[in-house]
Structure 1
Amino acid sequence: MADPVITDEDFQKFREFFYRKTGIQFDNTKRYFVDKRLLERMADTGNAQFRSYFTMLRFQASGEELQVLTNLMTVNETYFFREEYQFRCLVNSILPELVSRKKDSGPLRIWVLPSSSGEEPYSIAICLLEMWAGIHQYDVEIVASDIDTHILDQARRGLYSDRSVGQLPKPYLAKYFKRTAAGYQICDDLRGAVEYTRVNLSDRADTRPYRNFDVVFCRNLLIYFDDVSRKSAAETFYDALKPGGFICLGHSESMSRISSLYKVRKFPEAIVYQKPAE
Structure 2
Amino acid sequence: MGSLFSKSATLRKNVRISDEEFVQLRDFIYEKSGIFVDAKRKYLFESRFSKRLGELRLTSFAEYITYLKCDRGEELKQLFELVTTNETSFCRDMKQLEAFRDNVLREKLDEQRKAGRLELNIWSAGCSSGEEPYTLAILLLEMLRMEISRWKITITAVDLSSRMIERAKAGVYGEYAFKTTPDAIRRRYFTQVAEGWKIRPEVQRLVQFRQMNLNDPLATKRIPRSQIVFCRNVIIYFDETMKRRVVQYFYDNLLPGGYLMVGHSESLHKISQTFKPLFYAGAIAYKKEE
Given the two structures, how large is their TM-score scaled by the length of structure 2? 0.88
| 2: CA distance, partners of 1:202 / 1:249 | 18
Deviation for aligned residue 1:4: 4.3
Structure 1 contact 211–239 (Cα < 8 Å) conserved: no
Amino acid at match of 1:239: D
The reply to whether residue 146 of structure 1 matches residue 156 of structure 2 is: no
Structure 2 contact 49–82 (Cα < 8 Å) conserved: no
The reply to whether residue 72 of structure 1 matches residue 82 of structure 2 is: yes
For 1:236-263, what per-residue CA distance to the aligned partner results, in whole angstroms no more than 9, with x for missing partners? Answer: 1011111110010101111122111111
User: Secondary structure in 2 aligned to 1:168?
Assistant: coil
Structure 1 contact 112–143 (Cα < 8 Å) conserved: yes
Structure 1 contact 15–25 (Cα < 8 Å) conserved: yes
Amino acid at match of 1:67: K
User: Secondary structure in 2 aligned to 1:145?
Assistant: strand
The reply to whether residue 19 of structure 1 matches residue 30 of structure 2 is: yes
For 1:202-225, what per-residue CA distance to the aligned partner results, in whole angstroms no more than 9, with x for missing partners? Answer: 111221212410001100111111
For 1:66-106, what per-residue CA distance to the aligned partner results, in whole angstroms no more than 9, with x for missing partners? Answer: 11111121120011100123332333211332244444636
Between 94-103 and 121-130, report the one with greater CA deviation: 94-103
The reply to whether residue 234 of structure 1 matches residue 234 of structure 2 is: no
Does the C-alpha gap of structure 1 residues 10 and 104 become closer, same or farther in structure 2, counting only changes over 3 Å?
A: farther
Q: How does 1:173-184 map to 2 (within 5 A)?
A: 173-184=186-197
Q: Who is 2:93 aligned against?
A: 83
Does the C-alpha gap of structure 1 residues 97 and 188 become closer, same or farther in structure 2, counting only changes over 3 Å?
A: closer
Q: Who is 1:254 aligned against?
A: 267
User: Secondary structure in 2 aligned to 1:96?
Assistant: helix
Structure 2 contact 26–37 (Cα < 8 Å) conserved: yes
Deviation for aligned residue 1:41: 1.9
User: Secondary structure in 1 aligned to 2:192?
Assistant: strand
Deviation for aligned residue 1:39: 2.0
Does the C-alpha gap of structure 1 residues 4 and 255 become closer, same or farther in structure 2, counting only changes over 3 Å?
A: closer
% same residue: 35
Deviation for aligned residue 1:157: 1.1
Given the two structures, how large is their TM-score scaled by the length of structure 1? 0.91
User: Secondary structure in 2 aligned to 1:202?
Assistant: coil
Q: Who is 1:217 aligned against?
A: 230
| 2: CA distance, partners of 1:152 / 1:114 | 10
The reply to whether residue 127 of structure 1 matches residue 139 of structure 2 is: yes
Match of 1:167 among 180, 184, 195: 180
For 1:3-48, what per-residue CA distance to the aligned partner results, in whole angstroms no more than 9, with x for missing partners? Answer: 8421111111101111111111111332222222322222212222
